[in-house]
Amino acid sequence: MTRTLTFLPELALLLGALVSFFVCLGESRTRLAKTVALVTALAAILASLLCLGQDATLFDGAYRVDLFSQSLKLVFACGLELILLLSGGLEDIRAEVKPEYFLFLIISVTGLTMLVSCVDLITLVVALEVSAFPLYLLIPMRREREGQRNQMESAIKYIMFGVAANGIMFFGMSYLFGLTGTTSLTVMWPKLQPLIHSPVAIAGLAMMLCGLYYKLAIFPFHFWTPDVYQGAANETASLIASLPKLGGIAVFVRFVSLASPDNHSVATLLAILAAGSMFYGNLIALLQKDFKRLLGFSGIAHAGYALLGFVALDQVGFSAAIYYMTGYLLMVLACFVVICKVSPDGTNVSIEQLAGLHRRAPLLAVTLAVGVFALAGLPPFVGFMGKLTLLSAALSKGYLALVIIAVINAAIAVYYYLGVIRESWFRDPADLTPIQLDWSTKALCVFLICGIVALGVAPSRVLGTISTSVARMNLPTPAAAAIAGGNPERVTANPLPEWQAAVPSGHN
């Protein structure tokens, strides 16, 4: 019974997907399909809370349930609920496929939920594909209208880049399997330590991470991002911009922790990718007029910021990256709430169309301001505290030049974010038609504003939980010890520091 309880969030999502599948067999069942999706997300939230303190190793050691994975499953379930609330009536999705839209949405989040518990290369690949394939189908579901027929092109680009990235990732996995003779990450870690400085190990680890570079839109695996954001429906883009990135960061932590803290080759590679992502994303975002494309290029830059935590190759940096991407989830969803409500028919929103928002819908204007200021890294929002923890982690390891680059890029980003604020708060168009908000949208806006402020003002509890979960992530399990030859010390070489030290001093 206890082992079943640890798998309860996944069971809730799988049951919801099954019910949603049967709903899709009928006709004109969009309302019922959305209700099933909302209930499924709520059930996943309750299941995640119920088993938050559970620990287990399932499926012959290939699936790890611990505080790290269970905390992220709670975030994914909450994120699914938020995306469903902002989706409204899906006006830009073809009517005949709206029930299937909710089915694929649940399946994608189910894959992400499984992804964070996978500690074996085979199960990890399966979870990655389960989370990605529904997204390939969600993008072309957008209905065609005159002047807007690029959703098929966006879907093809997303698929082609995904296939290429996955192929490179599988090739790198084969290198690591050949070096260690195992697909278990827990067993692979100690076996790889004596070989980590070899060119084959570095190449294998770098290629294996390519699939995650693609999911996170890290330079140079970013080319799909702006086109997919612009070509997908607003609701689909909100999903692609948020939950998969957090899932990618979580798996990135499991992979990069394979490298020892003094591995300068891996740290240098990550530093180069971080600098390239920040500069490319921010400089190209300066020229954007479409709000979703701006968020796409901004997302590339924020992936670069997240990599600042990984160059430290320690628990503090990993915790900072997860904390930052959790805050980014709220920040980007705040922007997409505004996009979905400013454009009730689902068309793309230009920055100029935000003019007069403070008079048309004051709550939306405040939500947009909080989201944009947080993305810019201004206090007292979570974006500021997230960047501060990332910069502190990188600086503690001596990456002063990279920290300076990040600060310069943060200053560049402020310029185009303030352009959004200028349009929404300081310019009034001729047409000031009020935007009507239902109770669910108002509740969603209030929740996002409070979440962004709370995570920025009082980050200690969240950072402490994340640090604790990261510290426990690589602790040995009986199954891992048995596979490693019955010697737990072989699995726990180079243990992570105590979690209490990960919370920056002075943070409340």
Q: Where are the alpha helices (DSSP H) in 181-224?
A: 185-192, 199-208, 210-216
Q: What is the pLDDT of residues 485-494, one digit of tens each?
A: 444 333 333 3
Instruction: Give the mean pLDDT of the chain.
Output: 83
In a domain, 33, yes or no: yes
CB 221 within 8 A of CB 165: yes
**Coil, helix or strand for 357?**
helix
Burial class (CB in 10 A: 0-12, 13-18, 19+), 50: middle
53 or 489: which carries more pLDDT confidence?
53
Cis status of the peptide bond prior to 476, with omega within 30 of 0: no
pLDDT for the residue numbered 492: 36
Query: Would residue 57 count as lying in a domain?
Result: yes
pTM: 0.87
Task: Report the percentage of the chain scoring pLDDT > 90.
Answer: 31
| Cβ density class 420-448: b for 16+ within 10 Å, e for less | bbebbbeeeeeeeeebebeeebeebbebb
pLDDT in tens, 73-85: 999 999 999 999 8
pLDDT digits (tens, 9 = 90+) for 409-447: 999 999 999 989 998 888 877 677 888 888 888 999 999
C-alpha 141: how far from its chain's center? 22
Q: Which two tokens stand for residue 142?
A: 């957008």
Measuring CA to CA, which residue among 286, 282, 218 is closest to residue 252? 218
Output 189 or 148, whichever has higher pLDDT. 189
Q: Is 508 inside a domain boundary? A: no
Instruction: Please check whether residue 357 is in contact with residue 424, taking contact to mean a CB–CB distance below 8 angstroms.
Output: yes
| Residue 507 counted as domain residue | no
CA atoms within 13 A on the CB side of 458: 4
pLDDT (0 to 100) of residue 157: 83
The answer as to whether 234 is a domain residue is: yes
Question: Which of 417, 290, 415, 434 is CA-nearest to residue 358?
Answer: 434
Pick from 256, 265, 116: which is nearest to 198 by CA?
265
User: How confident is the model at residue 258, as a pLDDT?
Assistant: 64
Q: Rounded to the nearest 5°, which phi and psi values hold at 148?
A: -140, 85
Give residue 468's pLDDT. Answer: 85
Pick the more confident residue, 506 or 371. Answer: 371
**What mean pLDDT is predicted for residues 349-377?**
90
For 368-408, the pLDDT digits (tens) are 999 999 999 888 899 899 999 999 988 988 889 999 999 99
Q: Is residue 440 in a domain?
A: yes
Residues of the domain holding 275: 2-502
- Give the length of the chain: 508
Which contiguous run of DSSP H or E holds residue 101? helix 98-115
The pLDDT of residue 61 is above 90: no
Around Cβ 357, how many Cβ atoms within 10 Å? 27
* Counted domains in the chain: 1
